[in-house]
Amino acid sequence: MILGGLIGFLIGICFGLAQGSPWPDVIWRASVATFLAGIVLRWWGGVWIKSLQQARQEQLFPPEKKTVAPKRKV
């Protein structure tokens, strides 16, 4: 979440400066970008961790193969 906040703040600063906004507006936009990027990265990190745990679980305990009965001719 902290990494997302830092990335969001830097993006907000860069976009604010690129638009030529006054400093109070740049800081305000960077703060909002910090909040949003932190929330998004926290969510994405959770999804990523769950995916890694599931892959590791499948690696340790592979799913059993189902046997399929042969088709009968009618």
Residue 52, in any domain of the structure? yes
Q: Please state, in angstroms and rounded to a whole number, the distance separating the CA atoms of residues 30 and 14.
A: 9
pLDDT given at position 16: 92
Q: Please state, in angstroms and rounded to a whole number, the distance separating the CA atoms of residues 71 and 19.
A: 69
At 37, which amino acid appears? A
Residue 13, in any domain of the structure? yes
- List the end-to-end C-alpha distance of the chain, in Å, as a whole number: 62
If the chain, 74 residues long, is cut into consecutive pieces of 10 residues, what is the mean pLDDT of each piece? Answer: 90 93 92 93 94 92 75 74
Residue 16, in any domain of the structure? yes
- Helix (H) or strand (E) holding 24, with range, is helix 23-60
Residue 68, in any domain of the structure? no
Domain count, the chain: 1
Residue 63, in any domain of the structure? no
Give residue 16's domain range: 2-58
Residue 72, in any domain of the structure? no
- Helix (H) or strand (E) holding 38, with range, is helix 23-60
Residue 70, in any domain of the structure? no
Residue 67, in any domain of the structure? no
